[in-house]
């Protein structure tokens, strides 16, 4: 062995796991602490770890790890370091310098072997990704089917509590047509948590309002459940206890696919005037105030994301005064999703208004943070604007939503 090669190897050995990970783009240049992410070889989500404290890396799935940059670069590059030539190739890779002239090199045969290993792993990764997608699709199909069952299994003959709830939250008596959409289940199970055998636990059973999510073709793609307890003023929702973090469990749940679909509240989708916002109660408050206009279709999007759609990342902006603690506990200004819609959105990324709609009224929630909501509503207006259609947003008084305005709750 020559001194030049010795020096070359020592230089490579001096490269730390973190330095090698930075050069491979696995972590950023200022990385410190523990990193979990996809393995450069077998991918996955969080099976691959790097620790700056231990100066080590490891893949749970490949069952392999190391404490120097050489081993990490060899792993990522499928280099077999058991042979002298492979080891030297990894050294060259980790310091980014060509091998000294006199060094032993990988033979053509060894190089071909390496290429074969890379090809085989690539094929394996692709098969695993296809498998995951198939599973995701199967899960989604099952969810859609179950949520359709929940909706079609519910009664269009309203439970007294569902009718009383809508009256209390909007101040208006609902016409019978509303209950074709907003159905009732007197004994609806609220699933939460899993037992030691992995089965979901029936956490609560009670009266629920069951609404459908309907796609532009009129197909039910999901359902929206609201549990009701008329003894619990002012919002008339049951107290379901708290989750593991101590936050109250939500009294609303959405199942199946909601993105790109909407909840019909009153009227027909063939109407040219559409009015709707995020929530069911707000939409019905406005419908009531307008005396359920026969020329109007009232709807709810279910949540703000489905109403307003994704933002163009370039329009992100810093909130003028809201801050949030970062990972290290430092207060940073909050970044807000901007007023510009993401370009080239697919129709299933947010709810759609039908082509024949000429007048669209969007209802803002006044009880959410005002700058965040204003950016989102501006985004919704731009996203849904067409030639021959007017789009406007109605705002309730500051700090209220329309439901609160009508009922003073
Ligand atoms: Zn791996």
- For the segment 339-370, what is each residue's pLDDT rounded down to a tens digit? 999 999 999 999 999 999 999 999 998 777 88
**Across 179-196, average pLDDT:** 95
Compute, in angstroms, the gap from residue 75 CA to the centroid of ligand 1.
Answer: 9
Q: How far apart are CA 354 and CA 382, in angstroms?
A: 15
- pTM above 0.85? no
Average pLDDT, the chain: 92
Compute, in angstroms, the gap from residue 89 CA to the centroid of ligand 1.
Answer: 21
**Across 328-335, average pLDDT:** 81
Tell me: pLDDT of 118 over 90.
Answer: no
Please give the backbone phi and psi of residue 276, each rounded to the nearest 5 degrees, phi first: -175, 165
Q: What is the helix (H) or strand (E) element at residue 381, kind and residue range?
A: helix 370-384
Please tell me which residue, 162 or 4, carries the higher pLDDT value: 162
Compute, in angstroms, the gap from residue 44 CA to the centroid of ligand 1.
Answer: 8
| Residue 223 in tokens | 């359902």
Selection from 118, 125, 109, 16 nearest residue 75 by Cα: 118
Confidence (pLDDT) at 103: 85
Compute, in angstroms, the gap from residue 12 CA to the centroid of ligand 1.
Answer: 23
Compute, in angstroms, the gap from residue 106 CA to the centroid of ligand 1.
Answer: 24
Q: What is the helix (H) or strand (E) element at residue 254, kind and residue range?
A: strand 252-256
Compute, in angstroms, the gap from residue 88 CA to the centroid of ligand 1.
Answer: 22
| Pairing of the two strands 183-194 and 317-325 | unpaired
Around ion ligand 1, residues with a beta carbon closer than 5 Å are: 39, 41-42, 59, 61-62
Name residue, tokens 């991918």: 43
Q: How far apart are CA 256 and CA 406, in angstroms?
A: 31
CATH 3.30.360.10 fits 3-106, yes or no: no
Identical fold for domains 3-106 and 259-409, yes or no, is no
Task: Give the pLDDT band (50/70/90) at residue 295.
Answer: very high
Compute, in angstroms, the gap from residue 169 CA to the centroid of ligand 1.
Answer: 54
Q: How far apart are CA 320 and CA 109, in angstroms?
A: 62
Q: In what order do the strands lie in the sheet with 296-300?
A: 263-266, 296-300, 273-277, 359-363, 390-394
Share of the chain above pLDDT 90, in %: 69
Confidence (pLDDT) at 164: 97
Tell me: pLDDT of 142 over 70.
Answer: yes
Tell me: pLDDT of 304 over 80.
Answer: yes
Compute, in angstroms, the gap from residue 38 CA to the centroid of ligand 1.
Answer: 8
Q: What is the helix (H) or strand (E) element at residue 184, kind and residue range?
A: strand 183-194
Contact 277, 362 (CB under 8 A): yes
Compute, in angstroms, the gap from residue 21 CA to the centroid of ligand 1.
Answer: 14
Confidence (pLDDT) at 403: 77
Tell me: pLDDT of 404 over 80.
Answer: no
- Collapsing DSSP to helix, strand or coil, 358 comes out as coil
**Across 305-313, average pLDDT:** 94
Domain ranges across the chain:
3-106, 259-409
Contact 276, 283 (CB under 8 A): yes
Compute, in angstroms, the gap from residue 186 CA to the centroid of ligand 1.
Answer: 50
Confidence (pLDDT) at 409: 53
Judging by beta carbons within 10 Å of its beta carbon (0-12, 13-18, 19+), is residue 48 exposed, middle or buried? buried
Compute, in angstroms, the gap from residue 46 CA to the centroid of ligand 1.
Answer: 10
Task: Give the pLDDT band (50/70/90) at residue 169.
Answer: very high
Confidence (pLDDT) at 179: 97
Confidence (pLDDT) at 368: 79
Tell me: pLDDT of 408 over 80.
Answer: no
Confidence (pLDDT) at 257: 94
Compute, in angstroms, the gap from residue 377 CA to the centroid of ligand 1.
Answer: 44
Task: Give the pLDDT band (50/70/90) at residue 377.
Answer: very high
The 10s digit of each residue's pLDDT in 23-82 is 898 998 888 899 999 999 998 889 999 999 999 999 999 999 999 999 999 999 999 999
Question: Is the bond leading into 234 cis (omega within 30 degrees of zero)?
Answer: yes
* CATH number of the structural domain 259-409: 3.40.1360
Q: What is the helix (H) or strand (E) element at residue 140, kind and residue range?
A: helix 108-152
Q: How far apart are CA 407 and CA 234, in angstroms?
A: 10
- Collapsing DSSP to helix, strand or coil, 201 comes out as strand
| Residue 255 in tokens | 């199942």
224 DSSP β-pair partners: 211, 254
Compute, in angstroms, the gap from residue 124 CA to the centroid of ligand 1.
Answer: 12
**Lowest pLDDT segment from 67-71, 109-113, 143-147:** 109-113
Q: What is the C-alpha R_g of the chain?
A: 29
Compute, in angstroms, the gap from residue 36 CA to the centroid of ligand 1.
Answer: 12
| Pairing of the two strands 359-363 and 273-277 | parallel
Tell me: pLDDT of 243 over 80.
Answer: yes
């Amino acid at each position: 062995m020559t001194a030049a090669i010795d020096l070359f190897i020592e230089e490579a050995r001096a490269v730390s796991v973190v330095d090698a990970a930075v050069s491979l783009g696995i972590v950023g240049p200022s990385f410190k602490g523990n990193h979990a992410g996809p393995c450069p070889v077998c991918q996955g989500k969080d099976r691959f770890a790097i620790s700056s404290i231990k100066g080590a890396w490891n893949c749970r799935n490949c069952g392999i790890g190391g404490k120097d940059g050489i081993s990490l670069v060899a792993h990522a590059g499928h280099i077999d370091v058991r042979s002298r030539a492979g080891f030297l190739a990894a050294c060259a890779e980790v310091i980014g310098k060509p091998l000294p002239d006199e060094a032993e090199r990988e033979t053509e045969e060894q190089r071909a072997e390496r290429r074969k290993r890379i090809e085989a792993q690539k094929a394996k990764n692709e098969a695993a990704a296809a498998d995951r997608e198939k599973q995701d699709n199967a899960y989604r199909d099952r969810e859609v089917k179950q949520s359709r069952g929940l909706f079609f299994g519910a009664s269009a003959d309203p439970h007294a509590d569902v009718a009383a709830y809508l009256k209390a939250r909007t101040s208006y008596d609902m016409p019978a047509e509303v209950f074709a959409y907003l159905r009732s289940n007197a004994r609806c199970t609220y699933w939460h948590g899993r037992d030691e055998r992995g089965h979901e636990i029936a956490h609560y059973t009670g009266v629920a309002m069951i609404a459908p999510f309907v796609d532009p073709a009129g197909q039910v793609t999901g359902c929206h459940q609201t549990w009701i307890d008329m003894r619990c003023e002012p919002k008339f929702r049951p107290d379901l206890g708290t989750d593991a973090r101590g936050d109250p469990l939500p009294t609303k749940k959405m199942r199946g696919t909601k993105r790109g679909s909407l909840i019909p509240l009153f009227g027909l989708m063939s109407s040219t005037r559409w009015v709707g916002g995020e929530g069911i109660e707000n939409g019905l408050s406005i419908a009531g105030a307008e005396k359920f206009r026969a020329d109007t279709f009232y709807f709810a999007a279910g949540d703000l994301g489905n109403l307003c759609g994704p933002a163009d990342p370039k329009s992100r902006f810093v909130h003028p005064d809201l801050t949030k603690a970062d990972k290290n506990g430092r207060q940073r200004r909050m970044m807000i999703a901007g007023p510009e819609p993401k370009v080239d959105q697919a129709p299933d990324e947010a709810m759609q208004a039908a082509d024949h709609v000429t007048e669209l009224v969007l209802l803002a929630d006044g009880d959410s943070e005002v700058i965040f909501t204003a950016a989102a509503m501006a985004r919704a207006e731009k996203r849904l604007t067409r030639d021959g259609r007017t789009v406007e947003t109605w705002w309730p008084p500051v700090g209220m939503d329309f439901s609160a305005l009508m009922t003073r709750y």
